[in-house]
Structures are given as C-alpha cells and as structure tokens.
Amino acid sequence: MTEPTFAALVSRWYTENARDLPWRAPGVSPWAVLVSEVMLQQTPVARVLPAYEAWLARWPVPAALAEASPAEAIRMWGRLGYPRRAVRLWECAVAIVERHGGEVPDRLEQLLALPGVGTYTARAVAAFAYGQRHPVVDTNVRRVVCRAVAGQPDAGPATRPADLVATEALLPEDPAAAALASAAFMELGAVVCTARSPLCHRCPVETICAWRASGQEAPAGPTRRPQRYAGTDRQVRGLLLGVLREATGPVPRQRLDAVWTDDVQRARALDGLVRDGLVEPVDADSYRLVGDGPSRPAVPLPALPG
C-alpha cells in the first residue's frame, strides 16, 4: 500500500482539527474571503473576527462598499491597525465593480491587477474562494515546509521564490485537494508548528519531519524583533486618526495639535497620513478623512505587500 503523502497527512489532520472560522464556512463568498485575507495581514484572528463580521454585515458585496466613501471604510476599520488596508479594500471594491461587474475575479492575473492585492492575497483568494491549485505561502506555511522538508528550524523573515516552488511541489495535482492542503499547511503552522513552542507531539507529520529527525532546537527568540509602538510615529498617527475618525466634519489643526506635544513628530505623522491617502487637508488649518466630503482620491495608492 502506498504511504500517504505529506499533503494527505496534513489535510486529514486539518479536516479533523481545523478551527471553526467564518471565512472557512461552506458557501462563503469570494468577497468574504478577500476581506478576511486583507484583515488577517499582520493581525491576530481574535482581533479580526468582530471587525470581519461587522464589515460584511455592512458591506456584504463589493458594490455596497464601492458606493460608500473611503472615509466610511476607515471609520469602520476602527482600531484594527494598519488602516491603509481599509482604503485598499475600498479601492478594490470600486475596481471589482468597474472591471468585473461586481464579482471578485477568479483568474490569478486579474486578482493580481486589483489595487493593493499582492502575490499572497491573490493566491489565497484563488485557492480558498475558487478551489484552485496555487502555492499559498505565508509565514506559517514557510515555517512548516522549511522544517518538515528542508530540516531547518526557521525559514527567515521574507518569502522568496524558492518558498513558492517548495510549497507547490507538496500540493496534490487535483485543484480541490491542493486548495485543502494549502489551508491545512497554514493551519498547522498557526496552531502546532509554531515559531518558538512547536507542539511536535500533536503534529501529523512528526515521524517524517526532517527538522524533528535532526534534533535541532527551536529558535530561542523571535525571527523578527518586535516593533516598538509607544512613542513612535505609528502611535502618533493612531492618535491623529482617532480624532479624525470620530469627527463629523473637518477638524481644526489646533485640535490635532493637542494629541501630541512634539511638534516635529506630530507634523511628520500627519504628513505621513496625507501621503498614505488616509487624510486630506480641507484648507490651511483643517483636515478630514480622505473622501469625507464631495471629492474622493483620484491617485491610486501603492500596493501593500502580500
């Protein structure tokens, strides 16, 4: 009898142990999958869940969001973090309506052409929404493949072309089975093959894991140094955006000046919000969220990674 493949073992484990998450529910729409993938970038599942459900309750299809303003998207995003993603989703919704009749496209090249959609997100939507065979590689998947196949404790901080090749080699030829395996690899890395405290005794591929066989220890520290938040421009941007998000009209600069005492840092943070397409000046002395008025941003924003 032929031994089960790596993908078969992990897929079987996933079928029995996967977390019950709303974007994995049967019949979930491609738009819901796209929203989840954008929200999950650099954000834990626990924080995403309430924001995801509220977002889709308000904008269940791309056309609904496209009819809103980018300012409404930023407000709805709340404190989920990295608010540029809210504007990218709004831009994405507008493009889906204009180019694809309101339906999220199923071809990889069309997904990649959407505003703010990068290599990871496009492949994730193609696989998880449309059941296609694509290597979907995030940090968790890279770690699983690096350990189980290459025998190394850590895959490094950034995705390389070689990671896509190595992951694709593990996928079954059948598209539906490959999509299931992609989700399974990701889940295994998220809950079992974790960065610093892997639960090898619960791993479905422990007996064939090259890293486990090597006897190497897991890294003692994080592969990336945690980013400091207190006192950074990110904190100041968040404070400024909080005031603008809660306002119902233009906010005088004097009110924004009150959120942070360092004039230079505050000005730099505000300029950054304007450059990132989140905030726009109304006149020389007041600001508002972008599109929170008669005009909307005319210049497309650069794509986010992923």
Provide the CA 189 distance to its chain's centre, in angstroms: 16
Instruction: Compute CA distances 87 → 79, 82, 121, whole Å.
Output: 14, 10, 16
* Cα radius of gyration rounded to whole Å, the chain: 21
- Which residue bears the tokens 């990295």? 82
User: How far, in Å, CA of 162 to CA of 119, rounded?
Assistant: 14
CB 69 within 8 A of CB 292: yes
DSSP string, 267-287: HHHHHHHHHTTSEEEEETTEE
Residues pairing with 251 in the sheet: 287
Catalytic annotation, pick one of 3, 16, 37, 98: 37
Let me know if 91 is a catalytic residue. no
User: How far, in Å, CA of 168 to CA of 283, rounded?
Assistant: 52
User: How far, in Å, CA of 55 to CA of 124, rounded?
Assistant: 20
Please give the positions annotated as active site: 37
